[in-house]
Chain A
Amino acid sequence: MSEPQPLTVNDLACARGERTLFTGMSFRLGTGQLLLVQGGNGRGKTSLLRLLCGLAQPLEGAVCWRGQPITKERELFHREMAYIGHVNGIKDDLTPMENLRMSAALAGRHLDEVTAEQSLVRLGLERCLDLPARVLSFGQRRRVILAGLITAGALLWILDEPLTGLDVHGVALVEGLLRDHVTGGGMVVMTTHQPLSLEGVATVPLQVGPLLQPEED
Protein backbone atom coordinates (compact mmCIF):
# COMPACT_ATOMS: atom_id res chain seq x y z
CA MET A 1 0.00 0.00 0.00
CA SER A 2 1.45 3.35 -1.01
CA GLU A 3 -0.56 5.20 1.56
CA PRO A 4 -0.93 4.18 5.19
CA GLN A 5 -4.37 5.74 5.65
CA PRO A 6 -6.41 5.58 2.45
CA LEU A 7 -9.75 6.63 3.97
CA THR A 8 -9.95 10.20 5.24
CA VAL A 9 -13.11 11.92 6.39
CA ASN A 10 -13.03 15.68 6.82
CA ASP A 11 -15.57 17.69 8.75
CA LEU A 12 -18.53 15.61 7.63
CA ALA A 13 -22.08 16.79 8.35
CA CYS A 14 -25.24 14.85 7.69
CA ALA A 15 -28.91 15.76 7.91
CA ARG A 16 -32.07 13.73 7.41
CA GLY A 17 -34.86 16.11 6.51
CA GLU A 18 -34.80 18.95 9.03
CA ARG A 19 -32.81 17.10 11.64
CA THR A 20 -29.03 17.36 11.84
CA LEU A 21 -27.62 13.96 12.70
CA PHE A 22 -23.99 14.91 13.14
CA THR A 23 -21.59 17.68 12.20
CA GLY A 24 -17.85 18.10 12.16
CA MET A 25 -17.04 14.42 11.96
CA SER A 26 -13.44 13.74 11.02
CA PHE A 27 -11.41 10.55 11.16
CA ARG A 28 -8.83 8.55 9.30
CA LEU A 29 -8.70 4.84 8.77
CA GLY A 30 -5.61 2.92 7.83
CA THR A 31 -5.06 -0.50 6.35
CA GLY A 32 -5.34 -3.31 8.86
CA GLN A 33 -7.89 -1.41 10.94
CA LEU A 34 -11.54 -1.95 11.73
CA LEU A 35 -13.74 1.05 12.47
CA LEU A 36 -16.62 0.07 14.70
CA VAL A 37 -19.36 2.68 14.42
CA GLN A 38 -21.41 2.89 17.61
CA GLY A 39 -24.48 4.81 18.60
CA GLY A 40 -28.15 4.33 19.46
CA ASN A 41 -30.99 3.87 17.02
CA GLY A 42 -31.61 6.87 14.79
CA ARG A 43 -28.25 8.47 15.54
CA GLY A 44 -27.07 8.28 11.96
CA LYS A 45 -24.95 5.14 11.76
CA THR A 46 -26.55 3.95 8.55
CA SER A 47 -26.51 7.49 7.16
CA LEU A 48 -22.79 7.72 7.88
CA LEU A 49 -22.14 4.42 6.12
CA ARG A 50 -24.14 5.53 3.10
CA LEU A 51 -22.13 8.76 2.97
CA LEU A 52 -18.91 6.76 3.17
CA CYS A 53 -19.80 4.51 0.27
CA GLY A 54 -21.09 7.37 -1.88
CA LEU A 55 -24.78 6.44 -1.99
CA ALA A 56 -25.67 9.71 -0.26
CA GLN A 57 -24.13 13.17 -0.43
CA PRO A 58 -22.94 14.92 2.73
CA LEU A 59 -24.35 18.28 3.79
CA GLU A 60 -20.80 19.50 4.36
CA GLY A 61 -17.34 18.03 4.26
CA ALA A 62 -15.95 15.27 2.12
CA VAL A 63 -15.01 11.63 2.15
CA CYS A 64 -11.61 11.10 0.58
CA TRP A 65 -10.08 7.90 -0.76
CA ARG A 66 -6.33 7.95 -1.36
CA GLY A 67 -6.35 11.72 -1.01
CA GLN A 68 -9.09 12.39 -3.56
CA PRO A 69 -12.77 13.07 -2.84
CA ILE A 70 -14.77 9.95 -3.70
CA THR A 71 -17.09 11.96 -5.93
CA LYS A 72 -14.06 12.69 -8.12
CA GLU A 73 -12.40 9.29 -8.02
CA ARG A 74 -15.67 7.39 -8.11
CA GLU A 75 -14.50 4.56 -10.33
CA LEU A 76 -11.31 3.80 -8.39
CA PHE A 77 -13.13 3.98 -5.07
CA HIS A 78 -15.96 1.68 -6.08
CA ARG A 79 -13.48 -0.82 -7.46
CA GLU A 80 -11.81 -1.07 -4.05
CA MET A 81 -14.93 -0.91 -1.89
CA ALA A 82 -17.69 -3.40 -1.09
CA TYR A 83 -20.90 -2.43 0.70
CA ILE A 84 -23.48 -4.53 2.48
CA GLY A 85 -26.59 -2.63 3.49
CA HIS A 86 -29.80 -3.45 5.30
CA VAL A 87 -31.36 -4.99 2.23
CA ASN A 88 -29.57 -7.91 0.72
CA GLY A 89 -29.38 -6.98 -2.92
CA ILE A 90 -29.96 -10.49 -4.19
CA LYS A 91 -32.62 -11.47 -6.71
CA ASP A 92 -35.24 -13.95 -5.54
CA ASP A 93 -35.52 -15.61 -8.93
CA LEU A 94 -31.85 -16.46 -9.27
CA THR A 95 -29.91 -19.16 -7.45
CA PRO A 96 -27.18 -18.10 -4.99
CA MET A 97 -24.62 -19.07 -7.60
CA GLU A 98 -26.24 -16.95 -10.31
CA ASN A 99 -26.61 -14.09 -7.87
CA LEU A 100 -22.91 -14.11 -7.06
CA ARG A 101 -21.78 -14.37 -10.64
CA MET A 102 -24.22 -11.71 -11.82
CA SER A 103 -23.21 -9.19 -9.18
CA ALA A 104 -19.56 -9.86 -9.94
CA ALA A 105 -20.19 -9.25 -13.65
CA LEU A 106 -22.04 -6.01 -12.84
CA ALA A 107 -19.06 -4.87 -10.78
CA GLY A 108 -16.85 -5.55 -13.79
CA ARG A 109 -15.24 -8.71 -12.45
CA HIS A 110 -15.23 -12.21 -13.83
CA LEU A 111 -16.17 -14.87 -11.30
CA ASP A 112 -15.82 -18.48 -12.37
CA GLU A 113 -18.14 -21.16 -11.12
CA VAL A 114 -15.56 -22.95 -8.97
CA THR A 115 -14.60 -19.86 -6.98
CA ALA A 116 -18.24 -18.91 -6.50
CA GLU A 117 -19.06 -22.41 -5.28
CA GLN A 118 -16.09 -22.44 -2.91
CA SER A 119 -17.14 -19.20 -1.27
CA LEU A 120 -20.75 -20.36 -0.93
CA VAL A 121 -19.60 -23.63 0.63
CA ARG A 122 -17.36 -21.70 2.99
CA LEU A 123 -20.45 -19.83 4.18
CA GLY A 124 -22.24 -23.14 4.74
CA LEU A 125 -24.60 -22.96 1.78
CA GLU A 126 -23.61 -26.22 0.05
CA ARG A 127 -27.18 -27.52 0.15
CA CYS A 128 -28.70 -24.41 -1.43
CA LEU A 129 -26.53 -23.94 -4.51
CA ASP A 130 -29.27 -24.72 -7.03
CA LEU A 131 -32.30 -23.37 -5.20
CA PRO A 132 -33.81 -20.04 -6.14
CA ALA A 133 -33.01 -17.45 -3.46
CA ARG A 134 -36.76 -17.08 -2.92
CA VAL A 135 -36.89 -20.25 -0.84
CA LEU A 136 -33.88 -19.38 1.32
CA SER A 137 -34.30 -18.07 4.84
CA PHE A 138 -33.26 -14.54 5.77
CA GLY A 139 -30.08 -15.78 7.43
CA GLN A 140 -29.17 -17.86 4.39
CA ARG A 141 -29.62 -14.87 2.07
CA ARG A 142 -27.40 -12.90 4.38
CA ARG A 143 -24.79 -15.63 3.97
CA VAL A 144 -25.09 -15.37 0.19
CA ILE A 145 -24.09 -11.71 0.20
CA LEU A 146 -21.30 -12.44 2.66
CA ALA A 147 -20.03 -15.01 0.15
CA GLY A 148 -20.18 -12.24 -2.43
CA LEU A 149 -18.10 -10.08 -0.11
CA ILE A 150 -15.28 -12.65 -0.04
CA THR A 151 -15.21 -12.97 -3.81
CA ALA A 152 -15.28 -9.20 -4.33
CA GLY A 153 -11.66 -8.90 -3.22
CA ALA A 154 -12.22 -5.30 -2.10
CA LEU A 155 -9.82 -3.46 0.19
CA LEU A 156 -12.49 -1.57 2.11
CA TRP A 157 -15.58 -3.33 3.44
CA ILE A 158 -18.48 -1.16 4.56
CA LEU A 159 -20.89 -3.36 6.48
CA ASP A 160 -24.19 -2.19 7.91
CA GLU A 161 -25.31 -4.68 10.58
CA PRO A 162 -23.76 -7.71 8.87
CA LEU A 163 -24.78 -9.97 11.75
CA THR A 164 -28.55 -9.44 11.44
CA GLY A 165 -30.33 -12.75 11.02
CA LEU A 166 -27.27 -14.92 11.44
CA ASP A 167 -27.16 -17.82 13.89
CA VAL A 168 -24.30 -18.48 16.34
CA HIS A 169 -22.23 -20.28 13.72
CA GLY A 170 -22.88 -17.48 11.26
CA VAL A 171 -21.66 -14.86 13.72
CA ALA A 172 -18.50 -16.90 14.36
CA LEU A 173 -17.98 -17.17 10.59
CA VAL A 174 -18.28 -13.40 10.15
CA GLU A 175 -15.86 -12.83 13.03
CA GLY A 176 -13.43 -15.12 11.24
CA LEU A 177 -13.90 -13.28 7.94
CA LEU A 178 -13.37 -9.90 9.60
CA ARG A 179 -10.25 -11.11 11.39
CA ASP A 180 -8.78 -12.58 8.20
CA HIS A 181 -9.55 -9.46 6.21
CA VAL A 182 -8.20 -6.94 8.72
CA THR A 183 -5.08 -8.88 9.67
CA GLY A 184 -4.44 -9.37 5.95
CA GLY A 185 -4.20 -5.61 5.52
CA GLY A 186 -7.83 -4.92 4.69
CA MET A 187 -10.07 -2.20 6.07
CA VAL A 188 -13.54 -2.52 7.57
CA VAL A 189 -16.13 0.05 8.59
CA MET A 190 -19.06 -1.60 10.29
CA THR A 191 -21.97 -1.16 12.65
CA THR A 192 -23.46 -3.78 14.88
CA HIS A 193 -25.58 -4.00 18.00
CA GLN A 194 -24.37 -7.50 18.81
CA PRO A 195 -21.32 -8.25 20.91
CA LEU A 196 -18.44 -9.22 18.68
CA SER A 197 -15.25 -10.91 19.80
CA LEU A 198 -12.45 -9.43 17.78
CA GLU A 199 -9.29 -10.19 19.73
CA GLY A 200 -6.17 -9.31 17.87
CA VAL A 201 -7.99 -6.99 15.46
CA ALA A 202 -7.04 -3.31 15.53
CA THR A 203 -10.45 -1.88 16.34
CA VAL A 204 -11.14 1.85 16.33
CA PRO A 205 -14.42 2.85 18.00
CA LEU A 206 -16.39 5.79 16.66
CA GLN A 207 -19.36 7.27 18.46
CA VAL A 208 -22.05 8.75 16.23
CA GLY A 209 -24.40 11.32 17.65
CA PRO A 210 -25.22 14.99 17.43
CA LEU A 211 -21.99 16.61 18.49
CA LEU A 212 -22.92 20.29 18.17
CA GLN A 213 -26.11 21.67 19.72
CA PRO A 214 -28.09 18.52 20.38
CA GLU A 215 -31.68 19.16 19.34
CA GLU A 216 -34.61 18.71 21.64
CA ASP A 217 -37.65 17.67 19.69
Chain B
Amino acid sequence: MFRFLFTVIRRDLLLAARRKGDWMTSQFFFVMVVSMFPLGIGPEPEMLRRVAPGVVWVAALLASLLSLSRLFADDHRDGSLEQMLLSPEPPVLLALGKALAHWLIYGIPLLIIAPVLGLQFSLPADVIGVLMLSLLIGTPVLSLLGSMGAALTLGLRGGGVLLTLLILPLYVPALIFGAGAVDASLAGLGPEANLSLLAAFAVLTLLVAPWVTSAALRISIE
Protein backbone atom coordinates (compact mmCIF):
# COMPACT_ATOMS: atom_id res chain seq x y z
CA MET B 1 0.00 0.00 0.00
CA PHE B 2 2.69 2.47 1.01
CA ARG B 3 4.82 1.05 -1.74
CA PHE B 4 2.23 2.23 -4.25
CA LEU B 5 2.17 5.69 -2.65
CA PHE B 6 5.95 5.93 -2.88
CA THR B 7 5.93 4.70 -6.46
CA VAL B 8 3.45 7.42 -7.46
CA ILE B 9 5.61 10.06 -5.79
CA ARG B 10 8.85 8.68 -7.23
CA ARG B 11 7.32 8.63 -10.70
CA ASP B 12 6.28 12.28 -10.56
CA LEU B 13 9.65 13.34 -9.17
CA LEU B 14 11.41 11.48 -11.99
CA LEU B 15 9.18 13.09 -14.60
CA ALA B 16 9.75 16.53 -13.07
CA ALA B 17 13.50 15.94 -13.13
CA ARG B 18 13.28 15.17 -16.85
CA ARG B 19 11.35 18.38 -17.47
CA LYS B 20 13.13 21.06 -15.53
CA GLY B 21 11.68 23.81 -17.70
CA ASP B 22 8.14 23.25 -16.43
CA TRP B 23 9.42 23.15 -12.91
CA MET B 24 11.42 26.38 -13.15
CA THR B 25 8.52 28.36 -14.64
CA SER B 26 6.50 28.12 -11.49
CA GLN B 27 9.40 29.13 -9.22
CA PHE B 28 10.36 32.09 -11.40
CA PHE B 29 6.74 33.19 -11.47
CA PHE B 30 6.72 33.26 -7.68
CA VAL B 31 9.93 35.32 -7.51
CA MET B 32 8.73 37.70 -10.22
CA VAL B 33 5.33 38.40 -8.69
CA VAL B 34 6.79 39.04 -5.25
CA SER B 35 9.56 41.23 -6.67
CA MET B 36 7.11 43.44 -8.56
CA PHE B 37 5.61 44.80 -5.36
CA PRO B 38 8.61 46.69 -3.95
CA LEU B 39 9.09 48.20 -7.40
CA GLY B 40 5.46 49.26 -7.59
CA ILE B 41 4.86 50.39 -4.03
CA GLY B 42 8.14 52.16 -3.36
CA PRO B 43 11.06 51.55 -1.05
CA GLU B 44 9.69 52.62 2.37
CA PRO B 45 10.63 49.70 4.69
CA GLU B 46 7.66 50.30 6.97
CA MET B 47 5.16 49.95 4.15
CA LEU B 48 6.93 46.93 2.62
CA ARG B 49 7.03 45.14 5.93
CA ARG B 50 3.26 45.62 6.31
CA VAL B 51 2.37 44.18 2.91
CA ALA B 52 5.02 41.42 2.87
CA PRO B 53 3.02 38.56 4.46
CA GLY B 54 0.03 39.04 2.18
CA VAL B 55 2.13 39.50 -0.94
CA VAL B 56 4.26 36.40 -0.40
CA TRP B 57 1.25 34.29 0.42
CA VAL B 58 -0.85 35.47 -2.53
CA ALA B 59 2.12 34.90 -4.85
CA ALA B 60 2.48 31.37 -3.44
CA LEU B 61 -1.21 30.68 -4.15
CA LEU B 62 -0.90 31.91 -7.72
CA ALA B 63 2.33 30.00 -8.32
CA SER B 64 0.75 26.77 -7.14
CA LEU B 65 -2.28 27.35 -9.37
CA LEU B 66 0.05 27.79 -12.33
CA SER B 67 1.42 24.27 -11.99
CA LEU B 68 -1.79 22.59 -10.81
CA SER B 69 -3.56 22.68 -14.16
CA ARG B 70 -0.95 20.20 -15.42
CA LEU B 71 -1.15 17.92 -12.39
CA PHE B 72 -3.43 15.36 -14.02
CA ALA B 73 -3.76 16.82 -17.53
CA ASP B 74 -0.54 15.30 -18.94
CA ASP B 75 -1.29 11.87 -17.52
CA HIS B 76 -4.84 12.12 -18.83
CA ARG B 77 -3.71 13.02 -22.33
CA ASP B 78 -1.22 10.18 -22.72
CA GLY B 79 -3.50 7.62 -21.08
CA SER B 80 -1.28 6.83 -18.10
CA LEU B 81 -3.93 8.16 -15.71
CA GLU B 82 -6.32 5.46 -16.94
CA GLN B 83 -3.68 2.83 -16.38
CA MET B 84 -2.97 4.10 -12.87
CA LEU B 85 -6.68 4.02 -12.04
CA LEU B 86 -6.76 0.42 -13.25
CA SER B 87 -4.08 -0.51 -10.75
CA PRO B 88 -5.28 -2.88 -8.03
CA GLU B 89 -4.24 -0.27 -5.45
CA PRO B 90 -6.90 2.16 -4.19
CA PRO B 91 -7.29 5.36 -6.24
CA VAL B 92 -7.33 7.45 -3.08
CA LEU B 93 -3.63 6.65 -2.64
CA LEU B 94 -3.01 7.75 -6.19
CA ALA B 95 -4.71 11.07 -5.42
CA LEU B 96 -2.72 11.48 -2.21
CA GLY B 97 0.54 10.54 -3.93
CA LYS B 98 0.01 12.99 -6.76
CA ALA B 99 -0.76 15.81 -4.31
CA LEU B 100 2.27 15.02 -2.14
CA ALA B 101 4.50 14.86 -5.21
CA HIS B 102 3.16 18.23 -6.29
CA TRP B 103 4.01 19.62 -2.88
CA LEU B 104 7.55 18.21 -2.99
CA ILE B 105 8.14 19.52 -6.50
CA TYR B 106 6.46 22.92 -6.32
CA GLY B 107 5.79 23.64 -2.63
CA ILE B 108 9.18 22.96 -1.07
CA PRO B 109 11.11 25.26 -3.48
CA LEU B 110 8.76 28.15 -2.57
CA LEU B 111 9.68 27.53 1.04
CA ILE B 112 13.38 27.73 0.23
CA ILE B 113 13.09 30.90 -1.87
CA ALA B 114 10.86 32.67 0.66
CA PRO B 115 13.66 33.88 3.04
CA VAL B 116 15.41 35.68 0.20
CA LEU B 117 12.17 37.38 -0.76
CA GLY B 118 11.57 38.22 2.90
CA LEU B 119 14.86 40.13 2.97
CA GLN B 120 13.64 42.11 -0.02
CA PHE B 121 10.76 43.30 2.16
CA SER B 122 13.15 44.02 5.08
CA LEU B 123 11.51 41.45 7.33
CA PRO B 124 13.41 40.69 10.56
CA ALA B 125 14.98 37.24 10.86
CA ASP B 126 12.51 35.81 13.37
CA VAL B 127 9.57 36.90 11.20
CA ILE B 128 11.18 35.21 8.19
CA GLY B 129 11.29 32.06 10.30
CA VAL B 130 7.56 32.34 10.95
CA LEU B 131 6.95 32.98 7.24
CA MET B 132 8.78 29.77 6.37
CA LEU B 133 6.94 27.84 9.05
CA SER B 134 3.58 29.12 7.80
CA LEU B 135 4.50 28.13 4.25
CA LEU B 136 5.68 24.73 5.46
CA ILE B 137 2.27 24.04 6.98
CA GLY B 138 0.32 25.90 4.32
CA THR B 139 1.78 24.70 1.02
CA PRO B 140 0.56 21.08 1.46
CA VAL B 141 -2.93 22.56 1.79
CA LEU B 142 -2.47 24.33 -1.53
CA SER B 143 -1.39 21.10 -3.24
CA LEU B 144 -4.13 18.98 -1.68
CA LEU B 145 -6.98 21.41 -2.38
CA GLY B 146 -5.52 22.16 -5.78
CA SER B 147 -5.46 18.48 -6.73
CA MET B 148 -9.21 18.43 -6.05
CA GLY B 149 -9.74 21.28 -8.47
CA ALA B 150 -7.39 19.79 -11.04
CA ALA B 151 -9.30 16.50 -10.96
CA LEU B 152 -12.69 18.22 -11.20
CA THR B 153 -11.70 20.34 -14.19
CA LEU B 154 -9.83 17.54 -15.96
CA GLY B 155 -10.56 17.37 -19.67
CA LEU B 156 -12.70 20.52 -19.70
CA ARG B 157 -12.08 23.26 -22.20
CA GLY B 158 -10.75 26.32 -20.41
CA GLY B 159 -10.09 24.14 -17.39
CA GLY B 160 -7.26 26.38 -16.23
CA VAL B 161 -9.47 29.41 -15.66
CA LEU B 162 -12.21 27.31 -14.12
CA LEU B 163 -9.65 25.75 -11.80
CA THR B 164 -8.65 29.22 -10.60
CA LEU B 165 -12.25 30.24 -9.94
CA LEU B 166 -12.99 26.98 -8.19
CA ILE B 167 -9.93 26.71 -5.99
CA LEU B 168 -9.01 30.27 -4.99
CA PRO B 169 -12.03 30.60 -2.64
CA LEU B 170 -11.01 27.35 -0.96
CA TYR B 171 -7.53 28.75 -0.42
CA VAL B 172 -8.91 31.64 1.65
CA PRO B 173 -8.55 30.00 5.10
CA ALA B 174 -4.94 29.06 4.36
CA LEU B 175 -4.24 32.61 3.19
CA ILE B 176 -5.85 34.22 6.25
CA PHE B 177 -4.14 32.03 8.82
CA GLY B 178 -0.84 31.85 6.96
CA ALA B 179 -0.46 35.56 6.35
CA GLY B 180 -2.07 36.21 9.76
CA ALA B 181 0.68 34.27 11.52
CA VAL B 182 3.38 36.39 9.89
CA ASP B 183 1.40 39.57 10.62
CA ALA B 184 1.00 38.64 14.25
CA SER B 185 4.69 38.01 14.72
CA LEU B 186 5.47 41.33 12.98
CA ALA B 187 3.17 43.06 15.46
CA GLY B 188 5.02 41.41 18.32
CA LEU B 189 2.19 38.98 19.13
CA GLY B 190 2.78 35.26 19.02
CA PRO B 191 2.03 33.48 15.74
CA GLU B 192 0.99 30.30 17.58
CA ALA B 193 -2.77 30.81 17.35
CA ASN B 194 -2.74 31.36 13.59
CA LEU B 195 -0.27 28.56 12.98
CA SER B 196 -2.38 26.13 15.02
CA LEU B 197 -5.47 27.01 13.02
CA LEU B 198 -3.51 26.64 9.82
CA ALA B 199 -2.25 23.23 10.94
CA ALA B 200 -5.80 22.18 11.85
CA PHE B 201 -6.93 23.22 8.38
CA ALA B 202 -4.05 21.25 6.86
CA VAL B 203 -5.04 18.10 8.75
CA LEU B 204 -8.67 18.50 7.69
CA THR B 205 -7.62 18.90 4.06
CA LEU B 206 -5.35 15.89 4.26
CA LEU B 207 -8.25 13.78 5.47
CA VAL B 208 -10.82 14.98 2.95
CA ALA B 209 -9.07 16.07 -0.25
CA PRO B 210 -7.70 12.68 -1.48
CA TRP B 211 -11.17 11.13 -1.33
CA VAL B 212 -12.74 14.00 -3.25
CA THR B 213 -9.91 13.94 -5.78
CA SER B 214 -10.18 10.21 -6.42
CA ALA B 215 -13.96 10.43 -6.85
CA ALA B 216 -13.54 13.38 -9.21
CA LEU B 217 -10.91 11.51 -11.22
CA ARG B 218 -13.21 8.58 -11.71
CA ILE B 219 -15.97 10.87 -12.97
CA SER B 220 -13.64 12.86 -15.22
CA ILE B 221 -12.23 9.77 -16.87
CA GLU B 222 -15.60 8.36 -17.93
Contacts and interface: CB of A to CB of B under 8 A. Distances in A.
A83 B81 CA distance: 12
B89 A87 contact: no
B88 A108 contact: yes
B1 to A, nearest CB: 9
A106 B79 contact: no
Contacts of A9: none
Interface of A: 50, 53-57, 74-76, 78-79, 81, 83, 85-94, 98, 102-103, 105-108, 132
B19 interface: yes
Contact of B11 (A50, A83, A86, A102): A102
Interface residues of B, number: 23
Nearest to B18: A93
Nearest to A148: B83
Interface of B: 3-4, 7-8, 11, 14-15, 18-19, 77-80, 82-89, 221-222
Contact of B4 (A85, A98, A103, A108): A108
A32 B83 CA distance: 25
B19 A93 contact: yes
A106 B18 contact: no
A103 B85 CA distance: 11
A78 B86 contact: yes
A55 B85 contact: yes
Contacts of A91: 15, 78, 80
Chain B CB count within 10 A is highest, among A89, A90, A132, for A89
A83 B87 CA distance: 10
A94 B14 contact: yes
A85 B79 contact: yes
Given A91-B15, A91-B78, A103 B83 contact: yes
